[in-house]
Chains A and B, each alone.
Chain A
Amino acid sequence: SCSSWLPQRVPLRCSHWQSSLLEVRTSPPVRAQPKKKKKVDVKKEQAQKERMKKKLKKLEKAAPELIPIEDFIAPLKYSESNRVRSLPALSPEESERRVLLLKKWCLFKQKQDEAEKKAIKALVESQQEALKELRLEGEELYQAAIRRDEGLFPFERDGPSYTPPLPGYDPPEGKCIDVTKVYTQ
């Protein structure tokens, strides 16, 4: 049983104003406004809250502004006249050369695309033949082979560069500060 003269450790309202329990307990410090203006204040506060709510509803109803795509907006300073290059006009030989070159390119790309499609076709045929032969050897082996490989994707690989990596290369130091504008809707 606890002794009766020890005060209970109950958290008091406004107990941060009364640091020691041995102090004389007075009422908590009174704030500015006297109690007479209470009702009018409450009405004013309610009116303010309603006005805020109406504003919020209006903002929410309006369609969200589209975020501008910085890349598509050319800064005005680049459309000044002094920026335009002064170049000689294209000679007819040059335009002729360009047209013929683009036709040659068209043909080149067509052949490249056909070769690619042919290679893929050969790849698929080779695999189909292998799977056919495998099925003759046993159904479980075949089923295991046609099962999807869950570990295959996502597949990541760095593409080739023009020169191979230089062993022991010390790249120059520098800091990259990102200044892209971030928009929130």
Chain B
Amino acid sequence: SAAARRPWRLFGAMCLLRLPRITQPLEKEEEEVAALMQQVEGELEKSHYSDHEIRKLEEEEQLKRRRESLYDEDEARGKTVIMAQDLEEKWEQKFLQFKAAPRITDADKSNDRTSLNRKLDSNLMLLVKQKIGNQELWLLPQVEWQPGETLRSTAERAMATFLGDHIQAKVLGNAPYGIYKYKFPRAIRTENNVGAKVFFFKAFLQSSDLSQAELKADYLWVTKKELGDYLKSEYLKKVNRFLLD
């Protein structure tokens, strides 16, 4: 046949990332400098009094003068005056009534690694259980390349195979981010079937609702640090190279 037999089998794999939803906690140095900036630039040293503060100072002066003098004009007239201090207390009460969503979710507490609602301050990536040879392994979703398609299409196909066609993801370009090359065990290795090259592509998950998907295989959403619990060491080394913390 005219087509040359490839000694390496090609695979396209997708590293699908759910990006962080909340900010990471500040480092100690960052907190100290933020406090200093607030003190100098923000509230105390470099700024002048605002209208609200001027009003508050004047009202405090008035109150002091009224206490010192015996003649209480406003109370004689029965007029109620809303002071700046009252306004501040009202605002404070309103703020305390508001309850924000927690940064540590239920999924965090139960360590439910199938949930997308976990570790909201980190990247989460998709791992699926696949059969390679006679082993069941945790991998980034991959499928074998078919002649006629680009490797990016292979990776997209891998994503659709495990998550369905309606998955919304932004693939980051046409070029692969990394490669894992391995030789088949001697038992099955031949001159024309040496091993496999797995090309990794990266995508950002756009939709947060995956209730329609995830029916196909065992899956997990894990952070970069947790990858070591599931991936084999050589594979992990190659994947870590293109993952930012």
> In the complex, how many angstroms separate the beta carbon of B125 from the nearest chain A beta carbon?
15
Q: Quick one: closest B residue to A146, CB to CB?
A: B175
Instruction: Of the listed stretches A3-11, A20-28, A46-54, A155-163, name the one at the interface; the rest are far from the partner chain.
Output: A155-163
> In the complex, how many angstroms separate the beta carbon of A176 from the nearest chain B beta carbon?
19
> In the complex, how many angstroms separate the beta carbon of B160 from the nearest chain A beta carbon?
17
Question: Scoring B residues 231 to 245 as 1 if CB is less than 8 Å from chain A, else 0, what string do you get?
Answer: 000000010011011
A residues 162-177 with Cβ under 8 Å of B? Answer: 162-167
Dominant SS among interface residues on chain B: loop
B residues 83-130 with Cβ under 8 Å of A? Answer: 100-103, 105, 120-121
8 Å CB contact of B121 from A78, A145, A160: A160
Contact present for B175 and A123 (CB under 8 Å) = no
Q: Contact residue range for chain A? A: 35 or more
Contact present for B100 and A163 (CB under 8 Å) = yes
Contact present for B178 and A145 (CB under 8 Å) = no
> In the complex, how many angstroms separate the beta carbon of B1 from the nearest chain A beta carbon?
16
A76 at the interface (CB under 8 A from B): no
Given A160-B121, A163-B22, decide whether A126 and B177 contact each other with a Cβ distance below 8 A: yes
Q: Quick one: closest A residue to B177, CB to CB?
A: A127
Contact present for B174 and A144 (CB under 8 Å) = yes
Instruction: Of the listed stretches A37-45, A63-71, A131-139, name the one at the interface; the rest are far from the partner chain.
Output: A131-139
B21 at the interface (CB under 8 A from A): yes
> In the complex, how many angstroms separate the beta carbon of A87 from the nearest chain B beta carbon?
6
Cα–Cα, bound, A108→B29 (Å): 7
Among A87, A129, A148, residue most surrounded by chain B Cβ atoms (within 10 Å): A129
In the assembled complex, which residues on chain A have CB atoms less than 8 Å from the CB atom of B238?
A: 126
Cα–Cα, bound, A129→B198 (Å): 12
Among A84, A129, A141, A149, residue most surrounded by chain B Cβ atoms (within 10 Å): A141
Contact present for B23 and A162 (CB under 8 Å) = yes
Contact present for A133 and B54 (CB under 8 Å) = no
A125 at the interface (CB under 8 A from B): yes
8 Å CB contact of A145 from B30, B150, B245: B150
In the assembled complex, which residues on chain A have CB atoms less than 8 Å from the CB atom of B181?
A: 133
Contact present for B36 and A101 (CB under 8 Å) = yes
